[in-house]
Amino acid sequence: MTDAPWYVLGVGSVGTLWACRLARAGLPVRLLLRNAARLGRYQQGPGLRLIEGNCETGFALPAQTADAPGPIQRLLVACKAYDAEAAVASVRHRLSNGAQVVLLQNGLGSQQAVASLLPKAEVIFASTTEGAWARPDGAVVFAGQGLTWLGTPQSGPAPVWLDDLTRAAIPHQWTTDILMRLWRKLAINCAINPLTVLDQCPNGGLRAHPRTLAVVCQELEVLLHAVGQPTAACGLAEDVERVIEATAENYSSMYQDVAAGRRTEVHYLIGYACAQARQAGTPVPALDALHKALLAKLRTLGLPTG
């Protein structure tokens, strides 16, 4: 065990899931809330509530805002990708030299932006297959068991504080190729999520689009090679097909965000892929068309496109 408190920035679904498990293991956890109004509301309530199966547990964890005093040695960032950079900037002045900062954002682009803000920190990228969602009453439901991959873009060795995650029973694995994991997940997301929004269907509905899927996967494979991620390209089309079959009844996260009128992380998913393709000089016409159609749909619905 290590003794530095875990500061959790972004106490939504994933932040709550992590904070509660770390606290349950007896580890010190502090919540960092957006502003005084959020803090006041939290302090008047029962604390965090986590639902696992039929069991609900409450955790009255100490909370503060970014401008509270005191150094931060260990920071878990669980905001949406589009909020991560500003959220981290708000606590940057409190980070100790060599602080560990774990980034749980989906997609790519936000991690690099945060890392460049923090040249003196040890920035760890993560990719998780766990799932959680917040009920309207604020309780968070742990909906999907999974695994969290962690690693540094410099392929550094596993740090000693990973013991905290083991102690908290958070399934995890250190990897020296976290960018490959993030790119692979992003590529699968690019193939599935935008189409489910455009076609208004669960993942299984994409069985009706074999040609589009084949062309998009082929372009993604070329792109992955062009950005130096050939391993992430291996068997991509087959994996996309497998995910569609295994989750045929489910609605993608992007579909759910759009259906609920929430901002999507499009800029860090297909938006990032298309931008990287442009930068690499790799033509991806089908992916570009999908991206364009998705942005048009978001605009029609009055949702942000960035």
Q: Which residues are catalytic?
A: 185
Residue 265: name the closest of 87, 79, 57, 89 by CA: 79
Interface with ligand NAP, residue 72, by CB under 6 A: no
Interface with ligand NAP, residue 76, by CB under 6 A: no
Residue among 8, 9, 121, 170 that touches ligand NAP (CB under 6 A): 9
Interface with ligand NAP, residue 73, by CB under 6 A: no
- Judged by CB, which is closer to ligand NAP: 14, or 186? 14
In this structure, are residues 306 and 82 in contact, taking their beta carbons and an 8 Å threshold? yes
Q: How far is the CB of 195 from ligand NAP (least distance, A)?
A: 18
Residue among 5, 24, 28, 38 that touches ligand NAP (CB under 6 A): 38
- In the complex, which residue's CB is closest to ligand NAP? 12
Stretch that binds ligand NAP, among 72-80, 171-179, 201-209, 227-235 (CB under 6 A): 72-80
The single residue listed with the structure tokens 């909906």 is: 143
Stretch that binds ligand NAP, among 45-53, 67-75, 98-106, 167-175 (CB under 6 A): 98-106
Binding mask 105-134 for ligand NAP (x = CB under 6 A): xx---------------------x--xxxx
Interface with ligand NAP, residue 263, by CB under 6 A: no
Sign of CA dihedral 162, 168, 172, 177: negative
DSSP string, 153-188: TT-PPPPTTHHHHHHTT--EEE-S-HHHHHHHHHHH
Residues in the chain: 306
- Burial letters for 286-302: b for 16+ Cβ neighbours within 10 Å, e otherwise? bbbebbeebbebbeeee
Residue among 80, 94, 181, 185 that touches ligand NAP (CB under 6 A): 80
- Judged by CB, which is closer to ligand NAP: 132, or 286? 132
- Judged by CB, which is closer to ligand NAP: 12, or 204? 12
Residue among 1, 36, 86, 169 that touches ligand NAP (CB under 6 A): 86
Residue 271: name the closest of 299, 246, 248, 290 by CA: 290
Interface with ligand NAP, residue 23, by CB under 6 A: no
Residue among 24, 34, 263, 297 that touches ligand NAP (CB under 6 A): 34
* CA distances (Å), origin 182, targets 105, 178, 208: 10, 6, 27
In this structure, are residues 158 and 191 in contact, taking their beta carbons and an 8 Å threshold? no
Q: How far is the CB of 36 from ligand NAP (least distance, A)?
A: 12
Torsion of CA 246, 195, 146, 25, to 10 degrees: -150
In this structure, are residues 1 and 27 in contact, taking their beta carbons and an 8 Å threshold? yes
The contact set with ligand NAP (CB under 6 A) reads 9-15, 32-34, 38, 78-81, 83, 86-87, 90, 104-106, 128, 131-134, 265
